[in-house]
Structure 1
Amino acid sequence: MHITRALRVAAAVVAVGAAAALAGCSSSSGSAEPGKKGDLTTVKVATIGLTSDGSLLTGMAKGFFADEGLTIETSIVANPPAGLAAAQSGQVDIAYSPSIPLLNALSQGVKMKVVAPADGYPDAATSASDPASFDDTGLFASVSSGITSVKELAGKTIAVPARKAQLEVVIADQLKKNGIDPATGVKWVVLDFTSAVAALKSGNVDAAGLVSPFTAQALSAGNPQLAAPSIGFFETGATGLWTTGDATATSKKDVVSAFQRAIAKSNEYATAHPEEAIKAGLAYTKSTLAVDQVKVPVWPATVTDQDLQRPDDKMVDLGFLKKPVDLSGVILTK
């Protein structure tokens, strides 16, 4: 989940691939005035296939976007770097991105704007009796390692799906809080989630960062959860964001504003009807999970300055950013 230093090499390849793959579904040539003369303006939206997409989907079904003169055309891209690259180039109008890959992209000079919140965490989530109940990520130890706390990970091997990306960043935060230098105090290895679960079982890694539904697989195999790293890092507020390229924000200002109004209604509806939204998200992603197996997403009403400033500051402190990102004007007001 990251146009990070992934934008330098790996994501540069991904971006090119995304551009090619999306070339056939470039931004609509429809009017920049949504609903002009009764016509609907097509808005191309890139997602990464999350349950929280249910807000967007129920909003489409309920007609919130049509009410604003928009028709939404979705596509699932491989990862946030691909979506950010497509949005920055104008091949899609809106793309989902967590704040970490967005901040990495901004630090590399990629011109992006935040349109609206997509998902996040509730107020005071970190002080809840069970923060993990809000976090769909987890740091797990191999049951065969005997490790039961983050402090015991010094010198150990931790699997993540990509280097310098979202899970490594949030796990690094946990390591530092427990006195371990994330740069030199552990060995990072790259494994996809399926392979990471298998490596926990075999003991080939000491720990792994996972996301749902792989977290449930790790727990069912008896691997202890050491931390809920994402909620520990982000704490509260919007963490997943709907973004657009600077050029689109300017050339399709009315369309972007209409999207903001419609997604606000969608998030409000999803919050009031979470089961309906979750079912829509599961169907969209073709998941085999039941509704009661999914942690209920939080769909924030707004994106605040602190929702970007907090992870920006932490990424600098952890060494993932050389200097703070200039966030002035990044969040579009309604």
Structure 2
Amino acid sequence: MRARGVRLLVLTLLVAIGACGSPASATVAYGGIRDQSAAAFVAADLGGFTAEAGLTWSPTWATSGTVILQGLVSGDFDVATLGPAQLYGALRNGACARVLRPTQGAAYGVVARPGLRLDTTRPYPGVLTQLRGKTVGVPARGAAQELVLRSLLTDAGLNPDTDVTWVAIGAGPAAVTAFTSGQVDAAMSYPQLEMNLRAGFDKLVDLAGPESPLGAFWQSVAVANCDWADKNHETVLKLCHALNQGFQELARNPDAGPRAFVHLGLAPDLDQARTVWQKHRYPVVTVPPLTEENWDHQAKFAAGATAPDFSEHVVDGCATA
């Protein structure tokens, strides 16, 4: 009996020692919207890259960038995806955040109700002069979409404050209803809105890709809470490495994007997701790189003349981890 007890004690000690030597999985609380901006995070998780890094990715899905920003700054989220315009405004107002890398290039568009019979063949920026006197829908007043479209309307010689009427139409089903019912004449579109509208719109300007009027535009960037990032630098770089692997998976694996879209609820099944992915993959797999020049470029579409200091807010080495 004594020998058996000794063996059990030794076994218990060995198990305990083994557990102490095994790295514990670090949970990363993420805040985002179920759209393309999260595709690489999902691809990293489904591909096992976050697990290989010893991380557990724990997403919370929201419908408002304001809610996500508040959660990030308060520490409810360790990491989130935000539009640069909203992020730059928050940084200028004293908020603290650490930028990891851009997660999506330009995927916007400007669409109008087909019943208006606007001329979609006119070149940019003149095509937008047809919006004079029209109502324009955006998810929320002051949101990134409005800030971007204000810049485009200014390029067209319009006064964004007096020549159009802005209407907050929300996102998802509410935005679709507002557009199809005629509550607004035009809207700043994004892939999910166009998917739900299907062919029921005229596209005045296609803003997808770096060759569009937006240039090297980031529609979203991955951002970390300051306190979490500063205290967990090694974990941050592990997450960056997993996220970069997720982007590589989206580019090389034909089914990685469709699987991510199904997981995000952007398509009901893999077959339909493949079609949607082929149409909307470009801004996700071709993201303008994180450089100081591109960082400064985003300020053109934000409320403010200059970008926040690049070296102060960007995590060095994340984009190449």
* TM-score, scaled to structure 2: 0.78
Paired with 2:131 and 2:288, the residues of 1 have a C-alpha distance of 37
* Correspondence for 2:140 among 162, 183, 191: 162
The code of the aligned residue for 2:295 comes to L
Residue 71 of structure 1 aligns to a residue whose secondary structure is strand
Structure 1 counterpart of 2:294: 307
Shift, 1:100, TM fit: 1.7
Residue 95 of structure 1 aligns to a residue whose secondary structure is strand
1:31-61 superposed Cα distances (whole Å, 9 cap, x missing partner): xxxx973221111122211135232222223
Paired with 2:38 and 2:307, the residues of 1 have a C-alpha distance of 30
Residue 308 of structure 2 aligns to a residue whose secondary structure is coil
Paired with 1:271 and 1:36, the residues of 2 have a C-alpha distance of 36
Shift, 1:155, TM fit: 2.1
1:115-173 superposed Cα distances (whole Å, 9 cap, x missing partner): 1232225xxxxxxxxxxxxx3x3212222223223111112221212111111122222
1:51-99 superposed Cα distances (whole Å, 9 cap, x missing partner): 3523222222333222222221122123222222222222221111121
Structure 2 counterpart of 1:321: 304
Shift, 1:227, TM fit: 1.1
The question of 1:43 aligning with 2:28 is answered yes
Kept in 2: contact 1:237–1:303 (CA 8 A):
no
The question of 1:86 aligning with 2:57 is answered no
The code of the aligned residue for 2:153 comes to L
The code of the aligned residue for 1:207 comes to A
Please list every run of 5 or more consecutive structure 1 residues that lacks an aligned counterpart in the other structure: 1-34, 122-134
Residue 110 of structure 1 aligns to a residue whose secondary structure is coil
Kept in 2: contact 1:68–1:259 (CA 8 A):
yes
Number of aligned pairs?
281
Aligned CA distance change for structure 1 residues 196 and 330 (closer, same or farther; 3 Å): same
Structure 1 counterpart of 2:15: none
Residue 225 of structure 1 aligns to a residue whose secondary structure is strand
Shift, 1:230, TM fit: 6.2
Sequence identity percentage: 22
Structure 1 counterpart of 2:96: 111
Aligned CA distance change for structure 1 residues 208 and 93 (closer, same or farther; 3 Å): same
Kept in 2: contact 1:52–1:278 (CA 8 A):
no
Aligned CA distance change for structure 1 residues 200 and 163 (closer, same or farther; 3 Å): same
Superposition RMSD in Å: 2.6
Residue 267 of structure 1 aligns to a residue whose secondary structure is helix
Residue 312 of structure 2 aligns to a residue whose secondary structure is coil
The question of 1:213 aligning with 2:192 is answered yes
The code of the aligned residue for 2:151 comes to D
Structure 1 counterpart of 2:42: 57
Shifted more, 233-242 versus 59-68: the winner is 233-242
The question of 1:278 aligning with 2:278 is answered no
The code of the aligned residue for 2:316 comes to T
Shift, 1:218, TM fit: 4.1
* Correspondence for 1:298 among 271, 280, 284: 284
| Residues 1-334 of structure 1: pairs in structure 2 closer than 5 A | 37-120=22-105, 135=107, 137-148=108-119, 149-193=127-171, 194-218=173-197, 220-221=199-200, 223-229=201-207, 232=212, 234-236=214-216, 238-285=218-265, 287-288=267-268, 290-294=273-277, 295-296=280-281, 297-299=283-285, 300=287, 302-315=289-302, 320-321=303-304, 324-334=307-317
Shift, 1:251, TM fit: 1.1
Residue 329 of structure 1 aligns to a residue whose secondary structure is helix
* TM-score, scaled to structure 1: 0.75
Structure of higher CA gyration radius: 2
Kept in 1: contact 2:36–2:104 (CA 8 A):
no
Kept in 1: contact 2:138–2:166 (CA 8 A):
yes
Please list every run of 5 or more consecutive structure 2 residues that lacks an aligned counterpart in the other structure: 1-19, 120-126
1:4-47 superposed Cα distances (whole Å, 9 cap, x missing partner): xxxxxxxxxxxxxxxxxxxxxxxxxxxxxxx9732211111222
Kept in 2: contact 1:138–1:211 (CA 8 A):
yes
Paired with 2:45 and 2:164, the residues of 1 have a C-alpha distance of 45
Paired with 1:165 and 1:36, the residues of 2 have a C-alpha distance of 48
Kept in 2: contact 1:98–1:239 (CA 8 A):
yes
Kept in 2: contact 1:43–1:94 (CA 8 A):
yes
Kept in 1: contact 2:175–2:193 (CA 8 A):
no
Paired with 2:21 and 2:205, the residues of 1 have a C-alpha distance of 51
Paired with 2:84 and 2:296, the residues of 1 have a C-alpha distance of 10
